[in-house]
Amino acid sequence: MKWAISRRAQQLTSSAIREILKVTERPEVISFAGGLPSPASFPVAAMEAAVARVFADNPQAALQYASTEGYLPLREFVAKRYNVGVERVLITTGSQQALDLIAKVMIDPGSPVLVETPSYLGALQAFSLFEPEFVSVPTDERGLLPDALTRELTHGARFLYALPNFQNPTGRRLPLERRQALIARAKELDLLIVEDDPYGELSYTGDQLPTLLSMNPDGVIYMGSFSKILAPGLRLGFVIAPPELHFKLCQAKQASDLHTPSFTQRLAYESVRDGLLERHIPTIRDLYGKQCEVMLDALTRHMPAGVTWNRPEGGMFIWVELPEGLDSMKILEEAVRRNVAYVPGAPFYAGAPRKNTLRLAFVTVPPERIEQGVTILGELFREAIAQASPQPRAA
Amino acid sequence: MKWAISRRAQQLTSSAIREILKVTERPEVISFAGGLPSPASFPVAAMEAAVARVFADNPQAALQYASTEGYLPLREFVAKRYNVGVERVLITTGSQQALDLIAKVMIDPGSPVLVETPSYLGALQAFSLFEPEFVSVPTDERGLLPDALTRELTHGARFLYALPNFQNPTGRRLPLERRQALIARAKELDLLIVEDDPYGELSYTGDQLPTLLSMNPDGVIYMGSFSKILAPGLRLGFVIAPPELHFKLCQAKQASDLHTPSFTQRLAYESVRDGLLERHIPTIRDLYGKQCEVMLDALTRHMPAGVTWNRPEGGMFIWVELPEGLDSMKILEEAVRRNVAYVPGAPFYAGAPRKNTLRLAFVTVPPERIEQGVTILGELFREAIAQASPQPRAA
C-alpha cells in the first residue's frame, strides 16, 4: 500500500547527527551532546511529598479532564512570578509545545520568521513544519545585533524568535543595553518578539537581567519552562501572550492535546507553592556554575591554539569555534570512535551554517569525565588542525 | 500593535455552543453536554499505589527527558494488548494529539479527507488547522456505509477517519459485516483508514468486535486512549501505525512536544501492569450500562412523539433526532434557561448539518437527575414541536 503524505512530512528527513549520536547512550561514551539537565538537581523528596498532597486533596480532579488554559492555581503562580495578568497565561506540554502552538497561530507557508544566528534547533524544527521562510539575524559573541533589524530585513516578518538568556546552543546572554535597543527597534518596526527563556534563572551568580516581556508586555510572547528549574519529565511549560493571541493559542492547544495533564500540573503546583524554587534554584545555579568552571578549565589546558570558546554566565552550554575550514560534523565521527560526543553547530543555523562550530553541554558529566573527554577532544582537534594546514585550500 | 496571524488561526472562531455551555458549570444545571468519563470510575487507590512505586523504583528517570516514542514498557504493554510489533507503537499526549500528528503527517491544504456523517468534533477541529477538504461519507443508524465508498468519492483521499465503536457523537457501533466490507473496499481502493477507538472496550455486555487494525494492520493507523479506561487527566493515548508512518509520526511528535510526560507514562504503566484493566474495565462497563438504561427509560417515558433516539451497545452517548425542521441549537438556549444542557448535533457535521439532532451524555449524571433533566427536555421538545407545527414552513 502506498500513501500520499503531506509536503511538510516529506521534508522531515532522518538526521545524520541523530544517527551518530545514538551511540552516545553506550556507557563508555563521554557525552557533551545531551541537552539534559542534571538529574542530581531534581527535588525528588519535595515532589514525592507533593504527589501525596495531590492524592489527599482531590485525586479525582487530578485524574479528570480539565480546562485548556491550565490549572488555575499554577497559572496564578506563573502570573505572579512574571507580574502579568493570569488571563495571559497558558500552560503547555513543555515549552516545545509552545513553539508548535505559536507556529500554528502565526506562520503561513512562506511567512518570514526572524531567527538568531545560530538558534535553537527544536524551534527551527517546530517552525519548519509550518513552512516559514527563515530570515537570519546577525549576532556576535554577545547575542543578536539590534541595529541589524532594518526595515528591509524585517519586512513582513511574523515575529522575531529570540533567546536572550544563555541561549541554546551558544550560552550567550544578551546585555541590558541590547535588550533596550531591541525593544525600541521592535516598537518602531511593529515587530512581535517571541522570547524563549528556559534558562533565565540559571545565572551562576544569581543576577538576572530584565526579560523582554517585562520591557514590553504587549509586544512579546514569552515562553517559560519548569524543565530546567524543576524537572523536564513533567513536560510543563507556559506561554504568556497578549490577550488576543492568548485566545488563539488556547484554541490551537485545544485542537492539539485538549489540555496539559491535570496530574502533572497539580504535582508541579503542589511542589512549588511553598517557595521550593527560591530554595532550590540556587542549588542548581551552584552545581551548573561549578560544572561550567571545570569544563572551562579543561578547555584552557587542553585545546590547541586556534580553538576558541565563550565563557557563559549561566545555563548549560559552551560554544566552541574551530579554525576556519574545519568541519565539526566530519570530526564528530572520529570523536565518537574515541568515545566522546558533542553536537556540531551546523544544524542550529537556519541559513548558511558555520561548520567549524560545536556545542558542549557540561551539566550531567562528572568532573573527572569532563577532564578526560576534553583531553581527547583537544588531541583530536590538534590532529585535525595539523591535517588541514599543509593541504591546499578546498575548492 | 497589530500582528498578522496565520490563515488557519483566522479560521478559528469562538464557538457559539461553547459560550452557551459555559453556564453548565453552574451546579444547578443538569448537564448532558459533557463528554467526561465518570470520576467514580477512576481507580484512585491503585494509582496511588502505582505512584509510590514510581518514586521507589527510579524517580529521576520519571522526572527526566525521555524518548519521543514513549516509555518502552508501556509501549510493550500496548503492543501485546493489540498483538502488534512494539516498533509500531507511539505514546501520545492524549489521543487528541494523535489527531494533530496524523494531520501534520498526512494533510496538505486542500487534501481530501473522508469523515463519517456526523463525526467527532475534536477530530474535525484538529484536522481543520491543516486545511483539508472534508468529504462526508454517508451513514445510517448502524454507522458508515461501505458501499458508499466509491472510486469517485474517495478519489485522492489521504485517509478515511472512522470511529467504529460507540462513536462520538452517535454512540453507533459498526457491525462485523460492515467492518469486513469496509476493509475489503479500502484494500481495493488503496485507501488508508484512521481508526479512532477510545470506547472500544466499553461494550456494556463485554462483547467486542474485531478492530479494523486487526483486520488489516498495514492499512490502518489505530488510535487508542487510556482516558476512558483509566483516567483522562493523565492525557495518555497511543497510535499504532505501519512502520514508515510511525517514523514520520515520531518526527512530527518530536517537534510538537518532544515526548509525552515520563511521569504519567510510568504512573500508567505501574497502574496497569498487573492486570488492573481486566479487573477495572468490567466495573466501568457495568456503571455505564446502568446509566444508559436509566436514560433510555426516561427518554421512553418523557419524549413526545416524533422524537427518536438510538439504543447504544456501549460507550457514553445517545443520539437524538427531533422532528425535521426543528433546530436543536436554537432550543438549547431555552434548555439552558431551564437548567438542562446537551450538545447540538450540527457542529459534528463536516458538511451540511442535520440541525434537528443532538447528543446526550449520561455517564456522570446521577439517575434522579437524569430523570429530572429528561423530563424538562421532554416538555421543551413538546412545546417546540407544537410551536413549529401550525406555522408555515420556513423559507
Mutation pick from B55, B104, B189 vs chain A, by most beta carbons of A within 10 Å, is: B104
In this prediction, residue A120 carries a pLDDT of 96
Q: Please give the residue of chain B at the shortest CA–CA distance from A112.
A: B4
Q: Look up residue B303 and give its three cell numbers.
A: 419524549
The grid cell for B321 is 433526532
| CB within 8 Å: A235 and B3 | no
B325, HSE (Cβ side, Cα atoms, 13 Å) = 14
Please state the rounded mean pLDDT for residues A45-59.
95
H/E element, A31: strand A30-31
- Mean pLDDT value across residues B289-316: 98
Which residues does B290 contact at the CB level (< 8 Å), separation at least 6?
none
CB contact under 8 A, A232 and B60: no
Q: Which of B96, B231, B258 sits opposite A257 (nearest CB)?
A: B96
Of A326-335, B31-40, B164-173, minimum mean pLDDT range: B31-40
> How sure is the predictor about A16, in pLDDT bands with cuts at 50, 70 and 90?
low
Of the partner residues B107, B233, B254, the one whose CB lies closest to the CB of residue A6? B107
Place of cell 499526549: B93
CA of residue A352 relative to chain centroid, distance: 20
Residue B34 confidence (pLDDT) above 90: no
The count of C-alpha atoms lying within 13 angstroms of the C-alpha of A22, restricted to the half-sphere facing its C-beta, is 6
In this predicted structure, what is the pLDDT of residue A255?
93
Query: Rounded to an integer, what distance in angstroms lies between the CA atom of residue A351 and that of residue A370?
Result: 32
| Grid cell locating A313 | 554566565
- For residue range A206-218, list pLDDT tens digits in order: 999 999 999 999 9
* CA A324 to chain CA centroid, nearest Å: 26
List the single residue in B9, B51, B261 with the smallest CB-CB distance to A105: B9
In tens, the pLDDT along A338-351 reads 999 999 999 999 99
What's the N-to-C CA distance of chain B in angstroms?
A: 45
CB under 8 Å to A133, separation ≥6 — which residues?
A110, A111, A112, A113
Q: Do A104 and B9 touch (CB under 8 A)?
A: yes
User: Mind listing the pLDDT tens digit for each residue in A263-321?
Assistant: 999 999 999 999 999 999 999 999 999 999 999 999 999 999 999 999 999 999 999 99
How far does Cα B386 stand from its chain's mean position?
Answer: 34
Closest CA to B156 of B179, B178, B132, B121: B132
The one-letter code for the residue type at B233 is: G
Query: What was the pLDDT predicted at B26?
Result: 84
Report the share of chain B in percent with pLDDT over 70. 97
Distance CA A371, CA B105 (A): 44
- In angstroms, the CA B184 to CA B219 distance is 11
Q: Which residue type does A77 have?
A: F
CA-nearest residue to B67 within chain A is A233
Phi/psi for A102 (5° steps) reads -60, -45
Considering only CB atoms, which chain A residues are within 8 Å of B4?
106, 111, 156, 158
Whether B175 shows a pLDDT value over 60: the answer reads yes
If one counts every other C-beta atom within 10 angstroms of the C-beta of residue A73, the result is 14
pLDDT at residue A332 above 60?
Answer: yes
Span A160-207, pLDDT tens digits: 999 999 999 999 999 999 999 999 999 999 999 999 999 999 999 999
- Name B231's Cβ contacts closer than 8 Å, sequence gap at least 6: A63, A64, A263, B42, B43, B47
Identify the three-state secondary structure at position A87.
Answer: helix
Residue A395 pLDDT > 70, yes or no?
no
Compute CA B114 distance to the chain's CA centroid, rounded to the nearest angstrom.
16
Instruction: In whole angstroms, give the CA distance from residue B67 to residue B89.
Output: 13
In angstroms, the separation between the Cα of residue B375 and the nearest Cα of chain A is 28
Average pLDDT over residues A45-55: 96
pLDDT band at B51 (very low <50, low <70, confident <90, very high): very high
CB contact under 8 A, B256 and A259: no
pLDDT at B16 over 90: no
Q: What is the 3-state secondary structure (H, E, C) of chain B?
A: CCCCCCHHHHHCCCCHHHHHHHHHHCCCCEECCCCCCCHHHCCHHHHHHHHHHHHHHCHHHHHCCCCCCCCHHHHHHHHHHHCCCHHHEEEECHHHHHHHHHHHHHCCCCCEEEEECCCCHHHHHHHHCCCCEEEEECEECCEECHHHCCCCCCCCCCCEEECCCCCCCCCCCCCHHHHHHHHHHHHHHCCCEEEECCCCCCECCCCCCCCHHHHCHHHEEEEEECCCCCCHHHCCEEEECCHHHHHHHHHHHHHHHCCCCHHHHHHHHHHHCCCHHHHHHHHHHHHHHHHHHHHHHHHHHHCCCCCEECCCCECCEEEEECCCCCCHHHHHHHHHHCCEECEECHHHCCCCCCCCEEEEECCCCCHHHHHHHHHHHHHHHHHHHHHHCCCCCCC
3-state SS, residue A248: helix
Contact by Cβ (8 Å): A294, A367: yes
Q: What is the mean pLDDT of chain B?
A: 94
Residue B29: how many CA atoms within 13 Å on its side-chain side? 20
- Indicate whether A392 pLDDT > 70: no
Nearest alpha carbon to residue A94 among B264, B21, B204: B264
The closest CB to that of A7, out of B6, B108, B231, belongs to B108
User: Where exactly does CATH 3.40.640.10 map onto chain B?
Assistant: 58-273
Amino acid occupying residue A300: T
Task: Indicate the DSSP class of residue A203.
Answer: B
From-to residues of CATH 3.90.1150.10 in chain A: 13-35+278-387
- Please name the member of A39, A55, A122 whose beta carbon is closest to the beta carbon of B60: A39
Contact B64 A47 (CB under 8 A): no
- Determine whether the interchain pair A12/B232 forms a contact, defined as Cβ–Cβ distance below 8 Å: no
pLDDT at residue B391 above 60?
no
- Select from B2, B10, B11, B12 the residue whose CB has the most chain A CBs within 10 Å, as the one to mutate to test that interface: B12
Return the residue of A nearest to B111 by Cα: A6
What CA–CA distance (Å, rounded) separates B322 from B209?
30
Q: Is the pLDDT of residue B390 over 70?
A: no
Band of the pLDDT at A390, cuts 50, 70, 90?
A: low
Give the pLDDT confidence of A150-162 residue by residue, as tens digits: 999 999 999 999 9
Judge: A105–B36 Cβ closer than 8 Å, yes or no. Answer: no
Domain B58-273 has CATH 3.40.50.620: no
A129-142 pLDDT per residue, tens: 999 999 999 999 99
Q: Which of A35-44, A176-185, B343-352 shows the lowest mean pLDDT across its residues? A: A35-44
Query: Which residue has better confidence, B26 or A334?
Result: A334
Q: What share of chain A is helix, strand, coil (3-state, %, to 5)?
A: 50, 15, 35
CA dihedral A161, A167, A169, A172 (to 10 degrees): 120
CA atoms within 13 A on the CB side of B247: 9
Q: What is the pLDDT of residues B191-219, one digit of tens each?
A: 999 999 999 999 999 999 999 999 999 99
pLDDT at B100: 98
Q: What is the pLDDT of residues B90-124, one digit of tens each?
A: 999 999 999 999 999 999 999 999 999 999 999 99
Count how many pairs of residues, chain A against chain B, have C-beta atoms within 8 Å: 233
Asked if pLDDT for residue A3 goes beyond 70, the answer is yes
Nearest to A252 among B4, B9, B65 (CB): B9
Residue with cell 538576572: A208
Q: Mean pLDDT, to the nearest integer, of A27-54? A: 92
Fold for A13-35+278-387, please state it: Aspartate Aminotransferase, domain 1 (3.90.1150)
Distance CA A371, CA B224 (A): 48
B394 vs chain A: nearest CA distance in angstroms? 35
Query: Parallel, antiparallel, or unpaired: how do β-strands B112-116 and B160-162 relate?
Result: parallel
CB contact under 8 A, A111 and B6: yes
What's the order of all strands across the beta sheet hosting B308-309?
B308-309, B317-321, B357-361, B343-344
Alpha-carbon distance B304 to B302, whole Å? 7
**Contact criterion met (CB < 8 Å) for A232 and B97:** no
DSSP 3-state assignment of A195?
Answer: strand
CB-based contacts of A226, cutoff 8 Å, min separation 6: A234, A236, A237, A268, A272
Residue A27: pLDDT band (50, 70, 90) is: confident
- Res. B393 pLDDT band, cuts 50 70 90: low
Distances in Å between the alpha carbon of B383 and those of A189, B94, B296?
A: 59, 41, 21
Residues of B in contact with A7 (CB under 8 A): 108
The CA distances from residue A218 to A243, A285, B155, in Å, are: 9, 31, 47
Q: How far apart are CA B99 and CA B117, in angstroms?
A: 18
Q: Which residues of B touch A5 (CB under 8 A)?
A: 105-106, 245, 248
CB contact under 8 A, A106 and B260: no
In whole angstroms, what is the distance from residue B3 CA to residue A108 CA? 13
Q: Which amino acid is at A160?
A: L
Q: pLDDT at position A20, please?
A: 72
Maximum CA extent, chain A: 72
* pLDDT tens profile B53-65: 999 999 999 999 9
Q: How far apart are CA A218 and CA A231, in angstroms?
A: 30
C-alpha angle A252-A67-A245 in degrees, rounded to nearest 5:
35
Whether pLDDT at B19 is above 80: no
